[in-house]
Every structure is written in C-alpha cells, then in structure tokens.
Amino acid sequence: MARKAVADVARGLYHGPTDVIDDYARWADNDTQHSSVVELIGYEPYPSAVHGEPFGVLLFRATVPRTLDGEPHVACFESEFDFWGVATEPGELSNDTAVAHDIACPPDAERIPPPVDTRTVHVVPDGAEELVVDVLTNAPSTASADDIVAEVVERMPRPASEREVAFDPGATVVDGDIGFAMGDADDCLLVKRDIDGVKVLNVPRILLQSGELGCIPPTALRPGEQLRSPH
C-alpha cells in the first residue's frame, strides 16, 4: 500500500515538459499537500545528465495508518524523473516496484518545503489590453511603430508578482493600419487599428504557435479569414 501510494503520486507528477528536478519537487509538494500518506522528504538533481536521461530523483516517505498489529507502517522510496515524467524501463510504468524504489528512511526524515522558483515569468499584465486600445485609439495618423511601442512601454502596468516581467511589445504600421502584439502562444495580446477602428483580436492558440502565424504584429493585420481555427 505504501509503495502504490508513492508510485501513483510519481506517475501523476508530469505537469509539462521540464529538465529541472526542482519543478517535479514543487509539483510533488503541491500534489501531496493534503495527503495523510505520502510526503516529499527530499530531492536531488543529477548535474551531469543530458537531455532524455533521468535528471534527478525525488525522495518520498509513506505512512500507512493501520496495519495488522495496529501500528502505522512507514517506508521510504525514491523515483527518478526525465523530460517525459517518472523514468522507468520501457513497458514498466504500471509496475509500482519499477516506479518507486526502496530506500532506507533517513532518521531525520520530514516533509520538506518545496524549492523556491526564482525564474522570471513573462506576462501580459492586467490592464495592458485597455492601455493598448487607448494608445491605438488616440495615436495620430503619422505615428510610427516606434512611437506606439514607446508609449506602451512608458505606460505599461506593473505586473502583479515580483517574478513577473511584461512581454516586450511590438507594432507595425502598414498603409496607415496599425498592428500590435505582445506575448506568446499561451498569453497573446493582438490589437489592430484600421479604417473600421480599434479591435482586440481573439486568435486560436494553434495559429499563434511557433512555425504558424505567431504572436507578432503582422498577424494582427492579416485578413480575418486567416485568423480562424483551421479545424
């Protein structure tokens, strides 16, 4: 029961592609916050690992509350992780023993706090859409792309978190029409101004991916039929 509980946690930890064991440690901490059985007691990166290989290990303690003699059973396990999730031999993902390996419980084992994520997060700040609409609405017909970007940057709302930084804005001007973009495929603000006025565009995420139209100013000026879902 202890091994299965840990193996189930480890199998469910993949929340997106990463080559950093710290991400798995944070996910494990979050996923076990309300568990009365599984605790994260440690993690260790493999500094020499290359992409595709296991790049770190998580250490777990499992406590099964009731056993035959009435005492709780405590056991510790480790699970390795790679770019695709918990690392096992091919075809062994459903094998609890292949996922959760036995280790001796450290005498000082206890739940650890997750590692602090200090990476910069790029965002489209709250209020940016209203700001860009205002800038494009009031921009003179002689405004250049640099003029528009400069005003947006000057007036850009401050992101909510200390780790957050606003995406760099971009603009293009073609025959008097203005296209504006900031963000990426997951968080993209596209706005255009043409003879019909200023409009915030809602473009399917698939079209904003790298290799497709992208979250770039020229996308905002494409004909409407090109900005619809291909499916």
* pLDDT above 90 for 144: yes
pLDDT, one tens digit per residue, over 174-213 is: 999 999 999 999 999 999 999 999 999 999 999 999 889 9
Q: Are residues 138 and 70 in the same domain?
A: no
Residue 62: beta bridge partners? 38, 75
In sequence order, which ranges of 32-156 are alpha helices (DSSP H)? 96-99, 128-138, 145-155
Residue where a domain stops, chosen among 45, 68, 103: 103
| Within a domain: 211 | yes
Beta pairing class for 121-123 and 164-166: parallel
Dihedral angle over CA of 146, 149, 151, 155, nearest 10: -160
Cα-only R_g, the chain? 25
32, 13 contact by CB (below 8 A)? no
* pLDDT above 90 for 46: yes
Q: Are residues 214 and 125 in the same domain?
A: yes
Q: How far apart are CA 148 and CA 178, in angstroms?
A: 9
DSSP conformation class of 145: H
Secondary structure (3-state) at 131: helix
| Within a domain: 28 | yes
pTM for this predicted structure: 0.65
Domain span holding position 131: 121-227
Residue 230: pLDDT band (50, 70, 90) is: low
Residue where a domain stops, chosen among 40, 69, 103: 103
What's the rounded mean pLDDT across residues 24-32?
A: 95
Q: Are residues 165 and 214 in the same domain?
A: yes
Q: Are residues 179 and 135 in the same domain?
A: yes
Q: Are residues 16 and 94 in the same domain?
A: yes
Longest dimension (CA), the chain: 84
